[in-house]
Amino acid sequence: MATKQFSDPKIRVPRKIGKDEIIEVRVKIGHNSSTGLKIVDGKYVAAEPPYFLKRMDVFYGAEKACSYDMTSATSPNPLIRFKLKAVREAPLRVVVTNSDGLTKEGETQVRFS
């Protein structure tokens, strides 16, 4: 497997946001992925431990807005998009955990224009 890579998530929200508007949030995560499987004699065998993003938690203000459970099928360096209703100006924080138990987080501010 290539060198393990795991960087802080980068969060993008629209530049113009109105109160109670449903916005699209984009989260880009720099993370290699590997199932750990290898083909030997025509069969898949575990050659190394899998390395993948396992969970993403999204916090809007002090509340947890949503959670995502992921598997080794998640692509390397994924761009994850989801909808969020902008009901207040508050921090938007994403916490990502990988299969090694390491966590990284990113934060941006939801501001009305």
Mean pLDDT of 36-45: 93
Which H/E stretch holds residue 30? none
**pLDDT tens digit string along 5-14?**
999 999 999 9
Residue count of the chain, please give it. 113
The whole-number pLDDT of residue 64 equals: 98
91: tokens are 């921090």
**pLDDT tens digit string along 43-99?**
999 999 999 999 999 999 999 999 999 998 899 999 999 999 999 999 999 999 999
All residues at 6 or more sequence positions from 38 whose CB lies less than 8 Å from its CB, including other chains = 44, 45, 46, 47, 48
Domain ranges of the chain: 10-110
CATH number of 10-110: 2.60.40.10
**pLDDT tens digit string along 97-113?**
999 999 999 999 999 99
Global model pTM greater than 0.85? yes
